[in-house]
Structure formats: C-alpha cells, structure tokens
Amino acid sequence: MKRSFIIIGVILLIAFIIYRLFAGTYNQMVTEDENVKNKWAQVENQYQQRMDLIPNLVNTVKGAAEFEKGTLTAVVEARASATQVKVDPSQLTPENIQKFQAAQGQLSTALGRLLMVVENYPNLKANQNFLELQATLEGTERRIAVARKDFNDAAQAFNTYIRKFPQTLLAGMFGFSQKGYFEAEKGAEKAPEVKF
C-alpha cells in the first residue's frame, strides 16, 4: 500500500514538473510575443503620425510657392503607396517587414527631396507654418528611429528565447516563429560622398 502511494506521488510530482515546464515556457513565449506586437504598434503609430503630417506639409508648400509639381506628386504618391502596405502583428516575418520598410523608405526619399527643393524658396523657408511642420516631422522621424530600435530589441529577445532549448521544441509545437527585423536601407553602409 505504501509503495503504491509513493509511486502515485512520484508520478504526480513528475506530472507537475512537466506541467510547470510547459506552462512556464508557453506563458513566457506569449509574454515575449505580446511585447513584440506592442512594439510593432508603436512603430505603426509613429509612421501614422508622419502620414498625418504630410497633407499639411504639402498644402503649406503648395500655398507658399509655385512649387515643382513633380516633387509634390511624388510625395503624395509615395504616401498613398505606403498606406497600402500593412503588416498584421501576427505576421511579422522578415519578408513582410522588408515590404513595409521599402514602402516607408520610398516615402522618406520623397520627403527628403521635398525638403531639399524647399531650399530654393526663401519665402517658404521663412513661413512659420512650414517651419513648425518641418520641426514636427523631424521629431517624428526621431521617434520612428527609436520605435524601430525598440521593436528590433523586442524581436531579438523573442527570437533568442524561442531558439533556446527546450523552448525551441515547444515554440514549433505552439506555432511561435521568429520575427523579422528592421534593417538598414540598401547602400547605407557606404558613406555619402561630399564634394565642394
């Protein structure tokens, strides 16, 4: 009789240890995954703020100068293109992140051209509305960089956790897969050439 109680006790203890291992690991994966999704939401939030600024910036530029129509059209089209690329937080694969980043990169390039062309219009550079919008846009770009870094940090922590043993066995079983990262734009590794 004592022996059967000991065997039952040992079986229950082993079952409890296995349960705690599975439950603890699964719960940590869920926590890490939710953190990545939260950081992704912050990235999208900052990009949305930039999207919301663009119409005001374009209208201010249009109203203040006889501006190059092609430059304004490029900004508007890049904004429209960037709004079409959405990434579901449950599908943060490297490929989806690259598509999102490429669309946002086109918009950044168009905005950069717009701000460079503005240099040719002294009355626009002196326009208070434009200066405020430009400052807000610059602040938003800094917040985007911080949000992207925070996302990459969260994705790295998640990816590291699910690749460790024994989590790697359970991650596949429960459908957890690695998240993608934001990467430097192509050509960013080369220093820009400055000529005077």
SS3 192: coil
SS3 8: helix
- The CA–CA distances, whole Å, from 59 to 14, 77, 144, 145 equal 69, 15, 23, 26
Is the domain 2-174 a CATH 1.10.443.10 member?
no
CB atoms within 10 A of CB 185: 13
pLDDT at 194: 38
Per-residue pLDDT tens digits for 81-138 = 888 888 888 888 888 888 888 889 888 888 888 877 777 777 766 777 778 888 888 8
pLDDT at 22 over 80: no
Mean pLDDT of 170-189: 78
- DSSP per-residue codes, 132-185: HHHHHHHHHHHHHHHHHHHHHHHHHHHHHHHHSTTHHHHHHHHT--PPP---PP
Say if residues 140 and 165 touch (Cβ distance below 8 Å). no
CA distance 149 to 10: 48
Task: Give the helix ranges, DSSP H, for 85-127.
Answer: 94-118, 122-125
Mean pLDDT of 27-36: 92
pTM of the entire structure? 0.73
